[in-house]
Structure 1
Amino acid sequence: MDKLTITEVKSILQQPKIKADILKHLAEDERQGVQRLLVSYQRRIEKQQKMQATFNERQVFEQAYWKKGQFVAGIDEVGRGPLAGPVVAAAVVLDDNFDLIEVHDSKQLSLKKREALVPKIKSQALDYAFGVVTSEQIDEINIYQAARVAMSEAYKGLQYNVNGLLIDAMDLDIELEQTSLIKGDDRSISIGAASILAKDYRDNLMAEYDLKYPGYDFKNNAGYGTAKHLAGLEKLGITPIHRKTFSPVKNYLN
């Protein structure tokens, strides 16, 4: 061990598991380079342990079902606030083999991280499904009811028979045990997974609409009222995917 170079020490400390006697030996190494690497290693381990602890906390609601040999679906929706496009919900069923500790509220994740997590979530999930409510339907029944419909449709799309639902701050007209959680996407791993899948699905839809209706920057604003979007409304008027009951869209109806 005394003959290890700094580069070799760095390689060792990047391994997922390191024996205690090796760490003890490195701790006794007086070279500043080794000590700096050990500090960096310890910080990384502490961060991972903290993430694992919070991940375990986000499994509490699911564990209540898993311990009984039951399944529960987490449901979340995205797209209540935009001026254009649908509201999209996702329902996700997980089991206790799910180990993606970075999964939580999609709004707290970067685009790069969300895109990396989506295929992993789909691979590990037992089941997932989506519900989509169009802008026309939103105008007919209001955005709150549209979100509920989208969530119900996502649940109905599941192939798994679940024993309960974990829902982000909502209740549905479904005869099944439900737990409504305020900020559920950051308190439940299955709701968090649903929020990530729903956002990814909707963002891809809006990117397609950006090609169909250029001039509003839908690809980058997802239908929210950004400066470029409002400029597009002023110059081009409304499109078929705009929500006509939303301000300021309704100002352009004539």
Structure 2
Amino acid sequence: MTPAPPSVTPDWAFEREHWRRGHFRVAGVDEAGRGAWAGPVTVAAVILPGTAAEYPFRDSKQLTAAQRETYAAEVRRVALAWAVEHAWPDEIDRLNILGATHAAALRALARLEPAPQALVTDYLKLRVDLPLSAPPRADALSYSVAAASLLAKTERDRLMRELDERHPGYGFAAHKGYGAPAHREALHALGVSEAHRRSFAPIRALLNAAEPLPGLGAGARKEAGPQRSGR
């Protein structure tokens, strides 16, 4: 299936394939923060009622922050079951980002009650003993995955605001740990905090002082401070 355009409206096509096979509790799974340099990767799993109702849920990237919060509250209200789990930088550095994302997804799925009978994920090919659909851009195509994307995004954003208070100066509340220019500049001014993912190439490069961060000139290396906790 080709990727959906940004304005696409989700439907129940993937869920219906599982419903036809008698798997009525279909969990949507999505993550937030996979490409960030700091903070957790957050995974949500959501089972919506299998009534083929229409919802306002959309891929979280299509919505404003206020809309995401409103719709996330609605997800929690209508869902048969939902769970959110995180993989923090130490787990990411130990397992790599894909392994940590899978581990957080499995933890979230294990918390669902009632348990799911099938899954739809946003191209996350989990090793599970359940029927699995993993199309690309499922967060834009599937109501269940869109609902999961809303919970993952809003919960991770909340945690990044907390990290911004614990590690002031990095701007986590604004850029959410991604590689924005302001984040790069803060890293060179303040050093690497315990909230950063040391296995990620830009952070590893700064720790090794072997090369400047992408997007900064060679002279920026001279300004890089020593590693510090950021507390």
- Which TM-score tier does this pair reach, normalised by the shorter chain? 0.7 to 0.9
Instruction: Tell me the secondary structure at the aligned position of residue 253 of structure 1.
Output: helix
- Residue 60, structure 1, aligned to residue 5, structure 2: no
The equivalent of 2:83 in structure 1 is: 129
- Residue 220, structure 1, aligned to residue 181, structure 2: no
* CA–CA distance in structure 2, aligned partners of residues 176 and 252 of structure 1: 42
Unaligned runs of 5+ in 1: 1-50
More helix by share: 1
Percent of aligned positions with the same letter in both sequences? 37
* CA–CA distance in structure 2, aligned partners of residues 54 and 119 of structure 1: 20
CA contact under 8 A between 2:24 and 2:50: conserved in structure 1? no
Instruction: Please tell me the root mean square deviation across aligned C-alpha atoms, in Å.
Output: 1.9
- TM-score scaled by structure 2? 0.81
User: Which runs of structure 2 are paired with 1:90-239 in the superposition (5 Å)?
Assistant: 90-97=44-51, 99=53, 101-239=55-193
* Shift in CA distance, 120/99, structure 1 to aligned 2, threshold 3 Å: farther
* CA–CA distance in structure 2, aligned partners of residues 66 and 99 of structure 1: 14
* Shift in CA distance, 214/208, structure 1 to aligned 2, threshold 3 Å: same
| Aligned mate of 1:242, from 196, 205, 212 | 196
- TM-score scaled by structure 1? 0.74
Unaligned runs of 5+ in 2: 1-6, 209-231
Structure with greater contact order relative to length (CA < 8 Å, sep ≥ 6): 2
CA contact under 8 A between 2:83 and 2:112: conserved in structure 1? yes
Which 10-residue stretch deviates more, 83-92 or 140-149?
A: 140-149
Report the CA distance between 1:196 and its aligned residue. Answer: 0.8
CA contact under 8 A between 2:9 and 2:58: conserved in structure 1? no
User: Which runs of structure 2 are paired with 1:30-69 in the superposition (5 Å)?
Assistant: 54-55=9-10, 58-66=11-19, 68=22
Query: Across the two proteins, how many residue pairs are aligned to each other?
Result: 201
